[in-house]
């Protein structure tokens, strides 16, 4: 959140936006259940807090019959200057290029849990939240938009090499009220129209989101506010934001004291003491358990312990949206180290990678051809590709990544934190296993995961299966967090949280 959204800096802008979102969702649920009186009242509350809210006005004007009314996240992807392009090339060439583009967009939308709702010329509209809803549909839509904006330049390079033509795409994402035609699997109404208009505000190659989406994703993505602009068919100016990329994982904040985790914490302290003296024989500590059970809390405590000694810490973060993307945790780590952003062009990416490889004392001639592909930098931008292919190439890349990660510690004791390893791709798990095998007694590796299915039996690790807190431990945590609660209030919290520390906090 920035000062434009919350002048007082106290979060009221964010809270008001969340309240309006909740009222709109309740209004949509009411109108779909046939309770138009409740829907009208709720829409009126929205307008009282946000005069001119387009979704609320759309609900008040909704017909009493026809398709379902939903509030969905919508993505619109449109080829830039496609009409002019179609007049310059043979029809068969145009159909082939556009067909490949559509195949890629469809695959990306499907991967992130969306559904292609309709096509408008060379524009593709996708909905997130129907027919399958996810609690993070807004984030999924923005990630899909970013992935589309990355995929199209590669398609364009292929089209230019083969046919001498280039293609560019712009993407818009909006969340709003739509009419859902379940028989035709199509959506229409102001929400769909506004998404297409927001898309039109995006520069070629960029992803733009409406203000309604920006409020919900600003913690997960770097956004750049754009000047409000008029669009065809909509009164007033449209606030919108350009998506620069995903944010780096925010620092983990320890909420409360350790309760019921004394043996795990003692093991971490002892392991780090041994690593500092170069005597750590079992370098890995794995915390398994359900979401919210305290895995990241322990990892954060271990990180804080290591940073007290001013030692190096590296984080590899798994993502549920990139489980099939080879070396995604490694790629994001190297990009952070190199200060590479989504909009950094390939030549600059290569220069930054060269500087980073030299900084850690590795030979750029040897390592750049193996690390550059991890960052999707093609050899045409200034390095000699290695001749190996297939499994041999993957093995060489994995070895180079491992060498880079170890070089970052410069022979000093340090810590690797691998969060959500159950979402790591197989190559990233191989790299992590290689780090564990190569640890020379001075490297501590903390790994978190929801279950043991991803964990190889051969890894040199100590595994802790975290259990829920007992009632007594839950009460201890509740009192530590808020001593002012009454016994009845404590009992209410305890009964709702099932011993999961995150729920208590």
- In angstroms, the CA 327 to CA 384 distance is 21
Q: Strands (DSSP E) along 138-220, which ranges?
A: 169-181, 186-188, 207-210
Q: pLDDT per residue over 269-314, tens digit each? A: 999 999 999 999 999 999 999 988 999 899 999 999 999 887 889 9
* Res. 10: pLDDT tops 50: no
Cα four-point dihedral sign 95, 99, 101, 106: positive
Q: Which residues contact 413 (CB under 8 A, 6 or more apart)?
A: 275, 276, 278, 309, 311, 442, 443, 444
pLDDT of residue 255: 58
Residue from 460, 119, 147, 429 nearest 281 by CA: 460
For 70, list phi and psi in degrees, rounded to 5. -130, 160
Spell out the SS3 assignment of 411-455.
CCCEEEEEECHHHCCHHHHHHHHHHHHHCCCCEEEEEEECCCCCC
| Percent share of the chain, pLDDT over 90 | 42
Residue from 174, 223, 228, 141 nearest 54 by CA: 174
- Count CA atoms closer than 13 A to 83's CA, side-chain side: 2
Q: pLDDT per residue over 209-267, tens digit each? A: 999 899 889 888 989 999 999 888 777 788 999 998 887 655 454 556 788 899 999 99
pLDDT bracket for residue 62 (50, 70, 90)? low
Q: pLDDT per residue over 27-42, tens digit each? A: 767 666 666 677 677 7
Strands 443-449 and 284-288: parallel
Encoding tokens for residue 132?
């399958």
**SS3 call for 372:** helix
How many helices (H) and strands (E) are present in the chain, helices listed first?
18, 13
Contact 171, 151 (CB under 8 A): no
pTM (two decimals): 0.70
Contact 448, 466 (CB under 8 A): no
Q: What is the DSSP string of 14-33?
A: HHHHHHHHHHHHHHHHHHHT
Encoding tokens for residue 232?
């065809």
Contact 444, 271 (CB under 8 A): yes
Q: If you search the block for the tokens 């556009």, which residue do you land on?
A: 98
């Amino acid at each position: 959140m920035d000062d434009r959204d919350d002048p007082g800096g106290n979060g009221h802008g964010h809270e008001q936006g969340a309240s309006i979102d909740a009222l709109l969702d309740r209004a949509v649920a009411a109108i779909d259940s046939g309770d138009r009186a409740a829907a009208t009242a709720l829409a009126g509350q929205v307008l009282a807090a946000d005069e001119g809210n387009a979704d609320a006005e759309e609900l008040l004007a909704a017909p009493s019959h026809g398709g379902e009314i939903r509030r969905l996240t919508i993505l619109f992807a449109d080829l830039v200057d496609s009409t002019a392009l179609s007049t310059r090339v043979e029809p068969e060439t145009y159909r082939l290029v556009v067909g490949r583009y559509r195949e890629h967009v469809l695959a990306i939308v499907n991967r992130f849990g969306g559904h292609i709702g309709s096509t408008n010329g060379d524009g593709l509209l996708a909905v997130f939240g129907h027919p399958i809803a996810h609690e993070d549909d807004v984030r999924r839509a923005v990630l899909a938009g970013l992935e589309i904006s990355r995929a199209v330049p590669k398609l364009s390079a292929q089209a230019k090499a083969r046919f001498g033509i280039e293609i560019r795409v712009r993407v818009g994402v909006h969340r709003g009220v739509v009419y859902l035609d379940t028989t035709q699997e199509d959506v229409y109404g102001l929400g769909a129209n506004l998404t297409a208009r927001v898309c039109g505000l995006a520069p070629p190659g960029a992803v733009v989101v409406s203000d309604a989406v920006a409020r919900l994703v600003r913690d997960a993505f770097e956004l750049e506010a754009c000047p409000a602009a008029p669009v065809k068919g909509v009164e007033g100016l449209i606030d919108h934001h350009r998506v620069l990329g995903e944010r780096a994982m925010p620092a983990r904040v320890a909420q409360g004291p350790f309760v019921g985790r004394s043996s795990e914490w003692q093991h971490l302290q002892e392991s780090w003491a041994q690593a500092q003296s170069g005597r750590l024989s079992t370098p890995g500590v794995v915390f398994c358990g359900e979401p919210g059970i305290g895995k990241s809390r322990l990892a954060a405590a271990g990180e804080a312990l290591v940073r007290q000694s001013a030692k190096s810490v590296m984080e590899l973060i798994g993502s549920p949206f990139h489980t099939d993307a080879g070396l995604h945790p490694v790629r994001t780590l190297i990009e952070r180290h190199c200060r590479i952003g989504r909009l950094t062009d390939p030549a600059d990416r290569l220069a930054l990678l060269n500087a980073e490889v030299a900084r850690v004392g590795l030979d750029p001639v040897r390592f750049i051809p193996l690390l550059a592909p991890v960052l999707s930098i093609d050899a045409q931008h200034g390095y000699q590709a290695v001749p190996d292919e297939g499994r041999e190439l993957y093995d060489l890349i994995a070895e180079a990544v491992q060498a880079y990660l170890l070089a970052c510690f410069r022979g000093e004791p340090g810590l690797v934190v691998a969060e959500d390893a159950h979402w790591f791709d197989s190559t990233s798990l191989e790299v992590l296993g290689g780090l564990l095998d190569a640890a020379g007694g001075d490297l501590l590796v903390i790994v978190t995961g929801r279950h043991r299915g991803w964990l190889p039996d051969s890894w040199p690790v100590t595994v802790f299966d975290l259990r829920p807190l007992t009632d007594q431990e839950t009460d201890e945590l509740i009192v530590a967090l808020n001593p002012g609660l009454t016994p009845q209030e404590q009992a209410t919290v305890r009964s709702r949280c099932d011993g999961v520390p995150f729920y208590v906090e």
